Structure 1
């Protein structure tokens, strides 16, 4: 069996050490490849980190039809192109727009839903180590780049990246719990968009 495939089979069973070996083997190669599309080293690092975070969260569902290296490079390429296509509408602005719509929507049910989701997310985040909490909040909730977080916290960008990888691993264990709430929120957002148009 191919060495990478053997490692990935262990990853599918939740073996973090095997995941980290794959990460260390391909991270720099993938960043260099990604940079050819996005022309920005920091953005490339974030995209590659997001790909690895996705792979960890979906590890049990991924069935490789080719070798792991091809899968990783294809995933990075696809996400890079998606980011480039959507770059005119920054994700943090879109997220804020959705949250504002939820906050402003009339009706006690909507307010309860938003409050419930926010409270559950906060409860989960607070179980992480303090520094990891802060990194996660600044990246995912405030939309700061890894470099901006590193400067603000006086740590290296690599440390920020490591915190985010660990945070996503941790958050993925609550994926079903959050997905139940997110599905309801998403349906509400769709209803808001339909009502708007």
Structure 2
């Protein structure tokens, strides 16, 4: 194994491509420390840097036949480490943004959904109580609140006196206040 330390990078690369595992071992021992320092400077997390280097050397062995060096062996190794660090940064940034987005959605989505359900239930309760009003009172109340007609307009439309309309609306509001409670009643004001 000592003879491998005398080989040049080009000779080690050729031996690696031919399937010589000792060549990979020599490349590893020759460049591991400087690659570790290079990666750690850019990404100061020991475990992740160790994973990056492990993955790089595993990749080199698994793809030894397809490896194409357009530069020197150290140039290839530095570029490979740099790219893996950048990919890790990018994936952590995406994961972080996703986690924040998910947290915001969880917080907002829960309250929005909860509010929508409560609103729907409340409106259903109000509609049920309005439906229980006497017929003429319900019609007058509906014209007043849902169609936004004035008391005089309702009186003309239903051939009633404006005072009767006013009394019917007042009575409807009083009944709903009692049935629904003061807080819910504020919807109609």
Shorter-chain TM-score range: 0.3 to 0.5
- State the TM-score, normalized to the length of structure 2: 0.45
- State the TM-score, normalized to the length of structure 1: 0.43
Q: Flag the structure with larger Rg.
A: 2
**Bigger relative CO (Cα 8 Å, ≥ 6 apart):** 1
